Structure formats: C-alpha cells, structure tokens
Amino acid sequence: MSPDHDTGFLLPVDKPVGPTSHDIVALARRALGIRRIGHTGTLDPFASGLLILCVGPATRLAEYLDPQTKVYRARVRLGAFTDTDDRTGTVIATSDQWSRLDRRTIEQSLSKQVGEILQTPPAYSAKQMGGERMYAVMRRGGQAVVPPSRVRIESIRVVSFELPDVDLEITCGTGTYIRAIARDVGADLGCGAHLAELRRTRIGRFDIESALRVEQFDEPAAIEARQVDPLRALGDLPVIEVEGDQAESIAHGRGIRVGGAPASGPVVIACGGRLLAVAESHDGVIRPRKVFAA
C-alpha cells in the first residue's frame, strides 16, 4: 500500500497505553512498507488516544496540524505531588486535605486555569534548556529552571467526581501540559495532585472514533478506510481553488494575486479537488510555501 506520490495521506491511530509515539510510527512503517512517516502531538507512554500519522509527502503538513485544538479526558488524583507531575513519578509530598473538598470548590479552582494563561511546563518535559531536553537535565541530577509559556485552555469540565480522583474533559491549544493543570490545581487547593490517566479524544477535525486500532495494522482494508486526504485534513484553513495559469504558477513556486483572499496567514491551494500547495497570503498576494503537485 502506498500513498499518492504527490501528497501522501493522514492516518489517525488510537495509541494504547504503553508504547511511545515513536513505537507507533515504527509499527506503521512496517505495516505500510513506507519509511517516510511522522506524527503530530506526541503522547507519553502512559497516555492513550489519538495520534495523527503523516504518511509520505504529508509529513510536510505537520506544522499546520499540530496547532489545532485538542480535547483530552484526564484523571487527576488529589493528595500527592510527584516529581514528574504524573503517576509515573516519585511522590514528593502528600496531604489528606482533599477529603474536605467539595465539587464546587474544585471546579472554582480549575476555572482559574481557563483562558490565555502562563503555564510552567513540568520539570520532566521535552522543553529545552541550553540545548538539552529538560527531562535529560533532571535525570542526570541537574536542576531544571523552566520559564512559563503562554497557552490557551478553552474549557475544563468535571465529568466524574469520586475523591481523591476527579475526571476532567479539557479542550486546549497546542503546547498545553495536562500534567501541569493537575499539578497547579493541587497547589491551589493546598492538597497536591498529579495526573493519573490521560486519553486524547480529538485533534481539530479528527476524532478518536474514526481512528485505527494498533491491532488493525495487519488489515489493509481497515487502513485504507481510515486514510484521510490532506486537503480534507487542512479543512480548518481557508481554501482557494485555482486552475489554468494560476495553478501552473503555484506549481512552479510563483505567487499569484487572488481577489477575496485573506489579508494574511496560511491558505490551502486546491486544483481539481486535490491539494496543490500550502501558501501564505499577504494583502491579496498568495505565495506558495509548500508545493505538493506538479
């Protein structure tokens, strides 16, 4: 099985708990017989859920897919901080203060993290300090000083409440650490908390219900049925249809002027129902950044 040689395709996969995101990519390479496969939105081994594989030339689209809004189901366990901010770490502080909390108090605390906020990433994270990953610094006994990052958290909803566990549905932008949400609500409530379970259920237009299960990698029909055309995957971006001379100009990397184009930002250029290019719009001039079809 091979993708369209011009554009490739996207493949949503339901990653189980245990393997790394790279393990899933390796499994896909063996199953598809294609070396050029990447993914967007890394999931930690203890997390499960939606992982989008970019196959063939579609690997060039990762930067446009990663910023899409993501939805998670998360279980926060109150009563203990860990050094990694999740259940895989070492407990560094405990408290029984959680036993005196009610649902309303917890919801009020969580609401403080909704919106455009500054969030301090976990010390054990892939953020870089002096050219080195933070988790590598911590594992060799160093001290990680992680500056806060601005993130967007659209909503945090309590879906189940059985203390010390609180199950949440979180809708957020790229770069948000769900582990940090758990840690910070534990600090605000004065009882400590960490992330006990995590499952990603949506990325942009991709939903976990349409994802391929890992045991289906040996079923060509199942893989075929779940392939997503790049043009559809980029549906959140403005789409401009071109033909004739304009299509030829874009295919050769030349800019064109299009009436009604967005004033600025990325746009998708389509021709005959196929992805031709991803371009940047500036004052009505469309300049291709990544051309996919000749």
Which sequence positions are flagged as catalytic?
Answer: 44
Residue with tokens 């559809």: 232
Distance CA 16, CA 10 (A): 19
The DSSP code for 18 is S
Three-state DSSP class for residue 180:
helix
Closest CA to 237 of 211, 203, 262, 255: 262
Cα diameter, the chain: 70
d(Cα 65, Cα 270) in Å, to the nearest integer?
A: 17
Q: ∠ at Cα 179 (175, 182), nearest 5°?
A: 125
Residue pair 39/51 in contact by the 8 Å Cβ criterion: yes
Amino acid at 43: L
- What is the DSSP track for 236-263? TS-EEE--HHHHHHHHTT--EE-TT--S
Contact indicator for 106, 100 with CB cutoff of 8 Å: no
Report the alpha-carbon distance of residue 3 to residue 57 in Å, rounded: 9
198: CB partners within 8 A, 6+ apart: 43, 44, 46, 47, 48, 49, 72, 73, 74, 75, 86, 178
Instruction: Give how far the C-alpha of residue 194 lies from the chain's centroid of Cα atoms, to the nearest Å.
Output: 20
